[in-house]
Structure 1
Amino acid sequence: MGKIWLTRRGLLSLLPAAAILGPARAETPLGVPSLYAADPLTGLALRGYDAVSYRLGSEPVSGADGHDHVWSGLVWRFSSAANRGAFARAPEVYAPRLGGCDPEGVAAGRLVDADPLVASLYDGRLYLFRDAQRRARATPELLDAAEARWPDLRPAAAIGG
């Protein structure tokens, strides 16, 4: 049998996975499935979508290699250096609220995965939802209830939002 060598490129490709397997991705007593809609294979927050782009257009834009920023234990990818810089200056402004968990679930006391393509801005805050039906049911009262419940549910890894 031959030896298996790990090249520098191969080692670097494992870094995003290390980000989701490290402290920010550790299971909690509540069984947090994924914070900030992190992709379980790449470790990219918002599954690689640009967090700033949610505020710039009607649809989120995919991030590009070379425009990464690490925050809250995850790799966030951006479509441009300008967007990466804006996020780096104020990540709590651009990151989804409630750790990227679905507000209906949080209001009910559960941490429920959300889809980064099912998002809405409410009162200047970005919320992700599990599906379009949950987004359609979202009311200011539901979001207020989720925000009030979030401090008790929030895992230590979810610094922002």
Structure 2
Amino acid sequence: MKTLLISMLLVLAISPSFAQEVFSKSGEAIQGYDPVAYFKVGKPVKGKSEFSYQWKDATWHFASAQNLEAFKASPETFAPQFGGYCAYGVADGHKATTSPDAWTIVGDKLYLNYNKDVMALWRKDQPGFIQKANANWPTVKKEKD
């Protein structure tokens, strides 16, 4: 019995569910907003549950069937960088939640921030923060949430 308990604790300790690669509240990526809409209409648009897709252990919602199909064809094109965690936070070496209305597209990539105040800081040196975040992400994404 003791061996079984220890085995179960070890499995839980190394389980990827403790370290999420995609920021999601209640399992919904971008708090239910459509990642494709940022590119197509230039603003955050709430997705609909009838247009949803499971990817990287999160549920992604879309405003239309066309956006859903575009994402399915190329999720890496539309998904926010750093799993939707705050790009400024990742540049600083940690995970932070994000707000769907604090966003920027740079070089055809979507970046989210904690809030609009942090987004303003982020915009002061996007190339530098992107470089730091890209370097930090392989380690940061393994952090427990």
Q: How would you bin the TM-score normalised by the shorter chain?
A: 0.7 to 0.9
Contact 1:49/1:60 (<8 A) preserved: yes
More strand by share: 2
The equivalent of 2:131 in structure 1 is 144
The equivalent of 2:3 in structure 1 is none
Deviation string 1:75-124 (CA, Å, 9 cap, x unpaired) is: 11111111000000110110000111112211221111111221110111
The question of 1:155 aligning with 2:142 is answered yes
SS at match of 2:104: strand
Counterpart-to-counterpart distance in 2, 1:101 and 1:64: 22
The equivalent of 1:126 in structure 2 is 110
Q: CA deviation at 1:66?
A: 1.3
Deviation string 1:47-78 (CA, Å, 9 cap, x unpaired) is: 11111001012321111131111100111111
The equivalent of 2:18 in structure 1 is 27
Match of 1:38 among 17, 24, 30: 24
Contact 2:29/2:84 (<8 A) preserved: no
Q: Structure 1: where are the runs of 5+ without partners?
A: 1-22, 157-161
Which aligned runs of 4 or more in structure 1 are off by greater than 3 angstroms?
Answer: none
Contact 1:36/1:96 (<8 A) preserved: no
Describe the shift of the 1:37–1:151 C-alpha distance in structure 2 as closer, same or farther (beyond 3 A): closer
The question of 1:110 aligning with 2:97 is answered no
Root-mean-square deviation (CA, aligned residues, Å) is 1.8
The two structures have a TM-score, normalised by structure 2, of 0.79
Contact 2:80/2:112 (<8 A) preserved: yes
Q: How many residues align?
A: 126
Contact 2:101/2:116 (<8 A) preserved: no
Aligned residues with identical type, % of pairs: 30
More helix by share: 2
Q: Structure 2: where are the runs of 5+ without partners?
A: 1-14
The equivalent of 1:56 in structure 2 is 40
The two structures have a TM-score, normalised by structure 1, of 0.72
